[in-house]
Structure 1
Amino acid sequence: MANIQSDKFNTSEIVRKVPEITLMFWIIKIFATTLGETGGDTVTMSMNLGYLAGTMIFTLFFVATVITQIREKKLNPYTYWITIIATTTLGTTLADFCTRSLGIGYAGGSTLLLVLLLGSLFIWKRTMGSVSVDTVNSPKTEMFYWGTIMFSQTLGTALGDWTADTMGLGYSGAAIVFGTLLLLVAAAYFWTKISSTALFWAAFILTRPLGAVVGDFLDKPISSGGLALSRYSASAVLLICILSLIVLSERRASLQKCYD
Structure 2
Amino acid sequence: MPHDYRSATGKVPEVTPGFWLIKIAATTLGETGGDALSMSLGLGYLVSTAILALVFAAAVGAQIGARRFHPLLYWLSIVATTTVGTTLADLADRSLGIGYAGGSVLLLALLLASLVIWYRTLGSIAVDSVASPRAEAFYWITIMFSQTLGTALGDWTADSAGLGYTGAMMIFGGLLLVVAAAYFWTRLSRTALFWLAFVLTRPLGAVLGDFLDKPIGHGGLALSRAGASAVLVALMLVLIRLVPQRPASKLH
- Which range, TM-score by smaller chain? over 0.9
2:168 maps to a residue whose letter is A
Counterpart of 2:52 in structure 1 is: 58
Indicate how the Cα distance of structure 1 residues 8 and 182 shifts in structure 2: closer, same or farther if over 3 A, else same.
farther
* Range moving further from structure 2, 241-250 or 215-224: 241-250
Counterpart of 1:214 in structure 2 is: 208
Offset of residue 30 of structure 1: 0.1
For residues 207 and 64 of structure 2, what CA distance do their matches in structure 1 show? 30
Offset of residue 225 of structure 1: 0.4
Counterpart of 2:131 in structure 1 is: 137
Q: Does 1:26 align with 2:23?
A: no
Q: Does 1:89 align with 2:83?
A: yes
For residues 125 and 51 of structure 1, what CA distance do their matches in structure 2 show? 33
Identical counterparts, % of pairs: 65
Offset of residue 74 of structure 1: 1.0
Tell me the secondary structure at the aligned position of residue 190 of structure 1: helix
For residues 240 and 77 of structure 1, what CA distance do their matches in structure 2 show? 15
Q: Does 1:100 align with 2:83?
A: no
1:45 maps to a residue whose letter is M
For residues 247 and 73 of structure 1, what CA distance do their matches in structure 2 show? 21
State which of 154, 175, 184 in structure 2 corresponds to 1:190: 184
Offset of residue 71 of structure 1: 1.1
State which of 233, 238, 245 in structure 1 corresponds to 2:232: 238
Provide runs of 4+ in structure 1 moved above 6 Å.
none
Offset of residue 8 of structure 1: 9.6
- Unaligned ranges ≥5, structure 2: 247-252
- Which deviations, in whole Å up to 9, do the C-alpha atoms of 1:13-45 show, x marking residues without a partner? 612111110000000000000000000000000
- Unaligned ranges ≥5, structure 1: 1-6, 254-260
Counterpart of 2:161 in structure 1 is: 167
- Which deviations, in whole Å up to 9, do the C-alpha atoms of 1:149-183 show, x marking residues without a partner? 00000000000000000000000000000000000
Tell me the secondary structure at the aligned position of residue 13 of structure 2: coil
Higher relative contact order (CA 8 A, sep 6+): 2
Report the aligned-residue RMSD. 1.6
Contact residue 2 and residue 122 of structure 2 kept, 8 A? no
Tell me the secondary structure at the aligned position of residue 194 of structure 1: coil
Give the alignment's TM-score, normalised by structure 1: 0.92
Tell me the secondary structure at the aligned position of residue 17 of structure 1: strand
Counterpart of 1:3 in structure 2 is: none
Counterpart of 2:250 in structure 1 is: none
- Which deviations, in whole Å up to 9, do the C-alpha atoms of 1:109-143 show, x marking residues without a partner? 00000000000000000000010010000111100
Give the alignment's TM-score, normalised by structure 2: 0.94
Counterpart of 1:226 in structure 2 is: 220
